[in-house]
Structure 1
């Protein structure tokens, strides 16, 4: 996901009969030369990872529609009744149909949505069994193996995008792509702005492809760069939000939130010391919570208290351990989001603690909203369309970038090559001392915060130095004697 302007080295191009040269023939500044070379190599080597991320992300954007096709009969009811049954009855129906496991959460159905009763089963590790109950008739409509509420299809698409179904090792690919995405995007913007400024082009040519340019690298570059400009904000957003839950950069991000005390506040479920309530389900099956058997009727008592406390819309009820409060959390992730939470004493039905989304630290709010937008749920179908457009646009930018590389290849009989040459090296040597003094600590800090970016940058540097030494040794080698 990048604006990979795989540009040509700074050298004059032959004039076209249909358009003037893009820029005057002059030497690039050391900073421009360095950025161009970095952008070129990063684009060539990182673009394959970005292609995979774009394709798998594009597939994930249609996850809600896939769920509707595959699991519509489980997720929705055929007829909406006038009033739902007590939650305790619905939990009892789910328990009767699937007695294994313990109830860890319940999402009462609203509208045409079924009630979701989530059972924790030790054999499933991170996954759960979710039983879907018609809230108006109590009929069990099916059971799925879910992952944090996601259906098997959505879970499969999510794993494909995050780690290519390779587990922890596979997560490196997506983190590498997200780590370089913002570098390539911003680098492409700077390079295109410098090029258009040098040729005294109007602002319109920064955003609109130059269709008067001769066919070839100029026209390809125009499409590549202007499309990248339009995508920049979205690509920066995807990079930032993708890194928040990556393996290494995400851990550093989490440590930063801890240091700033900017995480979502914990909701206390502690209750005053007292006897643990016994199961008085009155004929209902007890719902096993985190610590054992709890009173089934408490589901309705806790839900009524939460509604009275102002928690409207879809909610999730999570039973606590014996002697602890239960939690009720709003789970509406569409804008405007509803994420308020309350802790309720299941015996007395009183609110013991509360945490409102409006009171969260700003960074915690932005992180939560950003993740939902990255997953395509914050703005509903509009969010899905925007993400799909970003993925398709990125694929076009990458294809144009590689095409430029191909179009810049030498074609003369004595200089034929399969691809274009890289921009010339030497940008670092030309930088002023103060730029090096400031730039090196900044690059080290960024490399520490984004480890895969730092390691891959070191690898690029090592390869580039090795290639430079080899070329220098070849150029200075004495000509063979004889002949």
Structure 2
């Protein structure tokens, strides 16, 4: 027996007969290949839109603090008094400060908040002029050009986030980002689970990045995927709520709500009146305020507010004068923090009776969820906690995108004969390899999703067409190389 055999080290012959066969690499399924390629190209092409949405959304989360810094003198009073002046006196002070325009809404001051008297003028379009009145002294504390109650800085940042101040054209960017965000988030979860392999390994590194892989693309992938897992629920929420008020998908969402009778209920402002009875009018600016329906008595604001308080509408409210003769006034709760107060009533100012009521608790469930989702998306629903969560989501999304681009760069060829500035994309042809049953199910589902989310559908169709074409070109046989003939006269 040789020393080699005694030591247990196999001879070349034994090694040939006893060595374990090499384990073949796991073959990627057609579905996995297609999902990987889709996730890759969406990350490369859609991620810039998501970066813009995340940065502008991050800026928007700071609007409450910006409002306090920039417009604190208009929004709040320096000292809270013991008793508020009648609304009629406050509105009169606002009219003296702003003689032009029609009064559209009045929001009585509450605590250290000023009373907001909103005037509309034709030349302002959707904007309004808001005059801020100290409810305890009746002094005007300034005027701002607002958009449905939002201050100039909030309006500017909101427009930046929604359409980059580009109007209708700019709306496409935010809808495209929201349309693909949920696909990228869910696709990343599926790919990460498949990559982890065994269930034990998946559970171990699903929520904690695998730092045992050393440096390079594997560690970057661990941070990219694990952070994405943590953000998945929040990103899905941002995607869904963002789509509800987008141009195309939002219109389809509204159509669906109508079909399900799940819209926010309208409140009737109709009054049965004698057409021969003259409408209430005031004698001028000293006694009346121009409203949507003409000149109204200022004292009616106090009567309507008293009726609303008696009907249980507590907290901040907004009073809207009647749009015309034969219509009731409306009073709406405008407390959007949790628990929200969004009840509304219609009031006949002449008789002081409630003619209609719509309570938030009676709204359809989808209407409630839609309203709450929008407030949470805007960072209002849970106050400072809501702002912090949104900021964390935005920063986390930026990190995930950065790590995604870093992986693309780390996977680049570095050999001297085939250097490149970025990694090669996953192999094409995933669609061609899908089984028939997957196509029979997947195609109709994709068509439905594409109809509901038109920008997603169009871009997905473009990707699939390109994927099929590129795959077909890659499969074309290359012509065999023609052997070089020897030069004449040479042997």
Q: State the TM-score bracket (shorter-chain normalisation).
A: over 0.9
Q: 1:406 to 1:287 in 2, by over 3 A?
A: same
- The one of 405, 410, 417 equivalent to 1:407 is 410
Partner of 1:394: 397
Please tell me whether residue 259 in structure 1 is matched to residue 262 in structure 2. no
Partner of 2:32: 32
Partner of 2:436: 433
- Counterpart mapping for 1:147-296 below 5 A: 147-198=147-198, 200-274=200-274, 275-280=277-282, 284-296=286-298
Quick one: distance in 2 between partners of 1:295 and 1:481? Answer: 101
Please tell me whether residue 445 in structure 1 is matched to residue 448 in structure 2. yes
Q: 1:186 to 1:124 in 2, by over 3 A?
A: same
Tell me how far 1:429 sits from its aligned partner: 2.2
- Counterpart mapping for 1:122-137 below 5 A: 122-137=122-137
Partner of 2:329: 326
- SS of residue matched to 1:428: coil
- SS of residue matched to 1:149: coil
Q: 1:90 to 1:212 in 2, by over 3 A?
A: same
Partner of 1:8: none
- SS of residue matched to 1:219: helix
- Say whether the 8 Å CA contact 2:171–2:246 is kept in structure 1: yes
Tell me how far 1:398 sits from its aligned partner: 0.2
* More divergent stretch after superposition (149-158 vs 194-203): 194-203
Partner of 2:388: 385
- Say whether the 8 Å CA contact 1:88–1:284 is kept in structure 2: no
- Say whether the 8 Å CA contact 2:46–2:177 is kept in structure 1: yes
Tell me how far 1:283 sits from its aligned partner: 8.2
- SS of residue matched to 2:156: helix
- Say whether the 8 Å CA contact 1:109–1:115 is kept in structure 2: yes
- Say whether the 8 Å CA contact 2:134–2:140 is kept in structure 1: yes
Quick one: distance in 2 between partners of 1:24 and 1:243? Answer: 45
- Say whether the 8 Å CA contact 1:128–1:145 is kept in structure 2: yes
List per-residue Cα deviations over 1:229-260 (Å, max 9, x = no partner): 00000000000000000000000000000111
Quick one: distance in 2 between partners of 1:456 and 1:282? Answer: 59
Q: 1:83 to 1:27 in 2, by over 3 A?
A: same
- Say whether the 8 Å CA contact 2:315–2:335 is kept in structure 1: yes
**Gaps spanning 5+ residues in structure 2: where?**
1-22, 486-491
Quick one: distance in 1 between partners of 2:71 and 2:96? Answer: 22
Quick one: distance in 2 between partners of 1:209 and 1:194? Answer: 15
- Say whether the 8 Å CA contact 1:24–1:199 is kept in structure 2: no
List per-residue Cα deviations over 1:115-169 (Å, max 9, x = no partner): 0000011100100011100000000111111001100000000000000010000
Query: Which has more radius of gyration?
Result: 2
Could you state the TM-score of these two structures normalised by the residue count of structure 2? Answer: 0.91
Q: 1:276 to 1:241 in 2, by over 3 A?
A: farther
Quick one: distance in 1 between partners of 2:24 and 2:131? Answer: 68
Tell me how far 1:280 sits from its aligned partner: 4.5
Give the aligned CA root-mean-square deviation in angstroms: 1.7
Quick one: distance in 1 between partners of 2:284 and 2:70? Answer: 37
Partner of 1:15: none
Greater length-normalized contact order (CA 8 Å, ≥ 6 residues apart):
1
Partner of 2:369: 366
Tell me how far 1:281 sits from its aligned partner: 6.8
Tell me how far 1:34 sits from its aligned partner: 1.1
* More divergent stretch after superposition (57-66 vs 279-288): 279-288
Partner of 1:112: 112
- SS of residue matched to 1:425: coil
Q: 1:55 to 1:480 in 2, by over 3 A?
A: farther
* More divergent stretch after superposition (27-36 vs 221-230): 27-36
Tell me how far 1:466 sits from its aligned partner: 3.9
How many residues of Structure 1 are paired with residues of Structure 2 in the alignment? 460
List per-residue Cα deviations over 1:291-337 (Å, max 9, x = no partner): 10111100000000000000000000000122210000000000000
- SS of residue matched to 2:129: strand
- SS of residue matched to 2:342: coil
Quick one: distance in 1 between partners of 2:285 and 2:229? Answer: 64
- SS of residue matched to 2:119: strand
- The one of 361, 373, 378 equivalent to 1:375 is 378
- The one of 302, 305, 316 equivalent to 2:304 is 302
- SS of residue matched to 1:419: coil
- SS of residue matched to 1:344: strand
Tell me how far 1:481 sits from its aligned partner: 6.5
Q: 1:199 to 1:308 in 2, by over 3 A?
A: closer
Partner of 1:476: 478
